[in-house]
């Protein structure tokens, strides 16, 4: 099984955090807030599609809302496979980070 990319990891975690509010607008805003970088919609759509194709995400369309001009939103949630993939990344992360000091730059 291929490892998640960093973007996919971020998006999967954002979806998990946002729960029922996990749709593109909020996911993008959250990623922008956390990373402090500009995220275009396209940068969110592509990984979302890919993750759904890989079976890590599932989605459904919500009821139309007025602030969206009467359009519905696609709400995502992580699947079991998705959560497994996240856990795997976390295991790898902690394994590779193990024993590193809090400040790598000054203590190297």
Query: Per-residue b/e over 43-82, b at no fewer than 16 CB within 10 Å?
Result: ebeebbeebbebebbebeeeeeeeeeeeeebebbebbeeb
Site string for another protein, 55-74 (x = CB under 8 A): ------x-----xxx-xxxx
Q: Report the nearest approach of another protein to the CB of residue 43 (Å).
A: 11
Q: Which of residues 13 and 73 has its CB atom nearest to another protein in the complex?
A: 73
The residues near 32 (Cβ < 8 Å, ≥ 6 apart) are 38, 39
Residues 14-53 that bind another protein (CB under 8 A): 23-25, 28, 40-42, 45, 48-49
Judged by beta carbon, residue 67 or residue 102, the one nearer another protein is 67
């Amino acid at each position: 099984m291929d490892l998640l990319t960093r973007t996919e990891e971020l998006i999967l975690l954002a979806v998990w955090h946002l729960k029922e509010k996990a749709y593109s607008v909020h996911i993008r805003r959250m990623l922008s807030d956390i990373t402090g970088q500009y995220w275009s919609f396209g940068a969110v759509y592509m990984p979302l599609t890919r993750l759904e194709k890989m079976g890590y995400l599932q989605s459904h369309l919500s009821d139309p809302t007025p602030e969206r001009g009467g359009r519905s939103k696609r709400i995502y949630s992580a699947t079991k496979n998705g959560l497994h993939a996240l856990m795997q990344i976390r295991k790898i992360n902690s394994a590779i980070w193990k024993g590193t000091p809090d400040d790598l730059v000054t203590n190297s």
